[in-house]
């Protein structure tokens, strides 16, 4: 599973010039989970990450490479206790996975499902007083942080621990790095492009499953295949198998 490796390699160039603050995974330091979607009204919120039309990007990249050798939380920019108003925000998740190739290199179905399952973890994490709303269409993830949560000392380290706890329930996940970005000099526009690219690559895997056209000239996903090494091989391998 190396489809996303070029994008993983880019992450360090996008997140701002300052060094990150790194925290090792500690499940005991996870922020309380509210158990379901919660409502933090504007009047109850201290600020909104990605609010007031500020950038708000989210994506997850999986790889069987050794980019992520341990479970960690990295924070670029101000932590939750130092934010006073709406701020740009990104949450990037790098996941090291076991071999996802299934029964053969051309069998993309388990790969697609595994990637989707890992991505969908974001819909099952509900840090208390940290109201997340995510749009798959725009790749946005905005977060209203309640005054109460700030008062109680919520931090990215604790929220990150809660995320990792959830990711690690997936048997395919070996290790996870959750990266929170609020740095002003981060390249959020480029992150958004990468989020879209990841989505397109994943969709392409799904299209392969559905049995797409074999003529690259008439295929709407040609651009993605041209750019991502290995996709075309997966596609034609699958077609061959179906015949």
Residues near other proteins (CB under 8 A) are 37-39, 41-43, 116, 120, 123, 133-137, 140, 142, 203, 206, 220
Q: Which is nearer to other proteins, 175 or 204 (CB)?
A: 204
Minimum CB separation of residue 143 from other proteins in Å reads: 12
Nearest-angstrom CA–CA distance, 195 and 201 = 10
**Nearer to other proteins by C-beta: 48 or 157?**
48
Rg of the chain on CA atoms, in Å: 19
Task: Output 103 or 137, the one with its CB closest to other proteins.
Answer: 137
Q: Which is nearer to other proteins, 120 or 226 (CB)?
A: 120
End-to-end CA distance of the chain: 25
148-165 in b/e form (b: 16+ CB < 10 A) is: ebbeeebbbbbbbbbbbb
**Closest distance of CB 203 from other proteins, Å:** 8
Task: Give min distance, CB of 26 to other proteins, in A.
Answer: 28
**Least distance between other proteins and beta carbon 69 (Å):** 30
Q: What are phi and psi of 48, to 5 degrees?
A: -125, 120
- Nearest residue to 120 (alpha-carbon basis) of 153, 166, 84: 166
What is the C-alpha to C-alpha distance for residues 97 and 120, in angstroms, rounded to an integer? Answer: 15
Pick the closer one to other proteins by CB: 19 or 39.
Answer: 39
Residue 56 φ/ψ, nearest 5 degrees: -155, 100
**Shortest distance in whole angstroms from residue 180 CB to other proteins:** 20
d(C-alpha 121, C-alpha 115), whole Å: 10
């Amino acid at each position: 599973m190396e489809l996303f490796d070029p994008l993983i390699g880019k992450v360090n160039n996008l997140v701002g010039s300052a060094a990150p603050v790194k925290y090792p995974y500690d499940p005991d330091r996870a922020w309380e989970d509210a158990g379901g979607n919660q409502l933090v009204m504007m009047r109850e919120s201290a600020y909104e990450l990605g609010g007031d039309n500020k950038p708000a990007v989210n994506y997850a990249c999986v790889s069987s490479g050794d980019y992520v050798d341990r479970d960690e939380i990295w924070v670029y920019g101000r932590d939750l206790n130092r934010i006073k108003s709406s701020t740009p925000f990104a949450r990037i998740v790098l996941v090291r996975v076991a071999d996802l190739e299934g029964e053969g290199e051309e069998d993309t179905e388990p790969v697609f499902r595994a990637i989707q399952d890992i991505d969908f973890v974001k819909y099952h994490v509900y840090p208390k007083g940290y109201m997340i709303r995510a749009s798959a269409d725009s790749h946005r993830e905005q977060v209203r942080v309640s005054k109460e949560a700030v008062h109680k000392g919520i931090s990215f380290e604790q929220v990150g621990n809660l995320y990792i706890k959830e990711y690690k329930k997936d048997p395919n996940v070996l290790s996870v790095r959750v990266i929170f970005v609020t740095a002003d000099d981060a390249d959020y526009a480029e992150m958004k492009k990468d989020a879209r690219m990841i989505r397109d690559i994943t969709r392409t895997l799904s299209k392969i499953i559905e049995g797409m056209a074999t003529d690259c000239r008439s295929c709407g996903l040609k651009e993605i295949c041209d750019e991502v090494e290995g996709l075309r091989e997966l596609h034609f391998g699958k077609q061959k198998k179906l015949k």
